[in-house]
Chain A
């Protein structure tokens, strides 16, 4: 009988995004044989990011060469805007001398990550779709691509938010639409000078800015949504993350919502005269701690978006992906060294996550998004309008006694909304803050 050559690695990583690369490179650095499989021909071309990658995690993985990554601009200016129909009340912070995050194009950044992985000995298989896992005797022992079976002692699943493989292993059930955010984005070309002028950035530098928008969609019943904008060297991104269940329930199209945001009188001038370079869409798993899947089983580990590691409040995802990938890699490496790939051994992964910010943050933030989502009408409509009314009085010099105006404002604030609703808003705020700090 003709024997077919069996391909066998110590570790296979599925998905060459930040968590997959972090996992693969960690395994390779420990001296084990690792194969990184990616379904696209070039890493990053299936991915979209609102804007920025967090540098703390990139520095952790690449202490000597993190500066070489293809960063567009360092995001050191942040503005949050509460948008009324034609108004905006903003909070801003600037840290011109601190580079904590950077805007990137995924096609360039992820490809850079993969190049680093290849340089450090990771075998890379692009254009390869993993269709199934090879599961024998209650143990994952490899992957089945469109063409062949490839074996490994540990398979790290890092194939992103839709991870059909995580579902196949039984580690994860499908997400509920209430736990998902659909993010859509447009990248718009503007000249470098115009970007720097419109965002008040120091000319000729890599300083960058991010803006977030709450409200401003001019809908009586608005979905829970957050607008975002990031600067690149000679372009900007504008996008919107919307709760998927709200889209379905309210009969809304995400692109239509983004058009509404783009038409807002405060937003419109920022993108005026630009040319759309690319439209994109991606899901974000925001179920958090309560919806976490089982993170490992015999011969298999979940990392990154596939495991649902996102802190939506702070827009953190890439750092969770990179660090969870690293811990998955370290765990696989320990298993390879002692030649035991049972779930008992791989429990080390969970321990590492528990000791890190990943599970600590997910745990302390477990109610925040849910609390905010329940108060979406307050957040998306009532408070942005009230904030504008307050500042209209504060800055308006209407030649009326200020006391009368402020008293009317307070009477309206309480009168136009049931006390019970105001209390619920207050309670949601207090319980979210208390939940994080306790």
Chain B
């Protein structure tokens, strides 16, 4: 599957999930460290495609609203550049059928 198709497929999957979105981001990346990152593995290992690389700005963009709170990015990030917290109480993903 190509990157674009894959992104589309995940977007479709995310529509099945209910979220209580918080205005405040619970995920923050250290853009300076990210610039030194060779793998940018967050951009492909995340099951919700929360992270993407913007070539124009040379920055990692974070769609924290889609986060499934699994924590994979936090563990996998080779530079420890992700400030990962739980969303505030009551906010974030709400699984009904999982």
Contacts and interface: CB of A to CB of B under 8 A. Distances in A.
Nearest to B41: A248
A277 B78 CA distance: 34
B48 A281 contact: yes
A278 B98 contact: yes
Interface of B: 1, 6, 9-10, 13-14, 16-17, 39, 41, 44-49, 68-72, 74-76, 78, 84-90, 92-98
A245 to B, nearest CB: 8
A46 B72 contact: no
Contacts of B87: 129
Given A259-B9, A281-B72, A146 B88 contact: yes
Contacts of A276: 13, 16
Given A127-B90, A186-B13, A244-B45, 5 more contacts: A39-B89, A40-B92, A45-B94, A162-B71, A278-B98
Contacts of B16: 276-279
Given A177-B75, A281-B68, A187 B47 contact: no
Contacts of B71: 161-162, 283
A207 B47 CA distance: 32
Interface string A167-189: 00000001111001010111100
B72 A180 contact: yes
A430 B22 CA distance: 51
A145 B86 CA distance: 12
Interface string A280-291: 111100000000
Interface stretch (A52-60, A81-89, A250-258, A312-320): A250-258
Interface size class of A (residues with CB under 8 A): 35 or more
A50 to B, nearest CB: 10
A168 to B, nearest CB: 12
Interface of A: 39-42, 44-49, 105-107, 126-129, 145-146, 161-162, 164, 174-177, 180, 182, 184-187, 235, 244-245, 247-248, 251-256, 259, 276-283
23 contacts: A40-B92, A40-B94, A45-B93, A45-B94, A48-B95, A105-B96, A129-B89, A146-B89, A161-B71, A177-B76, A182-B47, A247-B76, A248-B45, A252-B45, A254-B45, A255-B6, A255-B47, A278-B17, A279-B16, A280-B95, A281-B48, A281-B70, A283-B71
Nearest to A178: B75
A298 B56 CA distance: 51
A214 B78 CA distance: 28
Contacts of A174: 74-75
Contact of B70 (A126, A277, A282): A282
Q: Which 5 A-B pairs have the closest CB atoms?
A: A279-B13, A280-B98, A129-B89, A281-B47, A127-B90
B89 A187 contact: no
Contacts of B89: 39-40, 127-129, 145-146
Contact of B75 (A48, A146, A283): A283
Contact of A41 (B44, B47, B70, B90): B90
Given A174-B75, A244-B72, A281-B68, A105 B97 contact: yes
Interface centre among B16, B69, B70 (most CB of A within 10 A): B70
Nearest to B71: A162
